Amino acid sequence: MDSEVHNLHNSFSEKYDCLQCGNCCRTLGPRITEKDIDKIAKALRCKPSDIIERYIKKDEDNDFIFKSMPCPFLMPDNYCQIYESRPKACREYPHTNRKNFYQIYMLSVKNASTCPIVYEILEHIKK
């Protein structure tokens, strides 16, 4: 199943231009790690504590997330201001090229309402 899903991921990732979409950056708050915060701070040449104070809060599970969405680093043209230093969760989204797709099937069903790539992959699997 993984190889089928990965093939679909590659072909639909080519079909959709994320710069014309930006839905994930507008609506989903990525989970942010301390390592992510360090990288963002380095990219913006400030202290990690400044990044936390300005952009980050903790959610009900005690995970770091952005204080508000759309993401504060999403620019009007849908480019990411910190693209090279973006959080790991952003780099991996929409996760459809990871191993053991069956483990994230339910997450993908949820993501299908945000991401057209995931939607198309699930539609193909159904067929």
**Which of left, alpha, beta for 57 (phi over 0: left; psi -120 to 50: alpha)?**
beta
**5 binds ligand SF4, rule: CB under 6 A:** no
Nearer to ligand SF4, 2 or 85 (CB): 85
At residue 36, φ and ψ (nearest 5 deg) are -60, -45
Taking residues 45 to 84 in sequence order and writing x for each that binds ligand SF4 by CB under 6 A, - otherwise, the string is --------------------------x-xx-----x-x--
Q: What angle do CA 123, 106, 83 make, to 5 degrees?
A: 85
Residue nearer to ligand SF4 on the CB measure, 26 or 58: 26
CA angle in degrees (0–180, nearest 5) for 16-66-71: 35
> Rounded to an integer, what distance in angstroms lies between the CA atom of residue 9 and that of residue 18?
13
- The residue (of 2 and 21) whose beta carbon lies closer to ligand SF4 is 21
Instruction: Note the residues at the interface with ligand SF4 (CB under 6 A).
Output: 16, 18, 21-25, 30, 71, 73-74, 80, 82, 86-87, 90, 93-94, 114-117
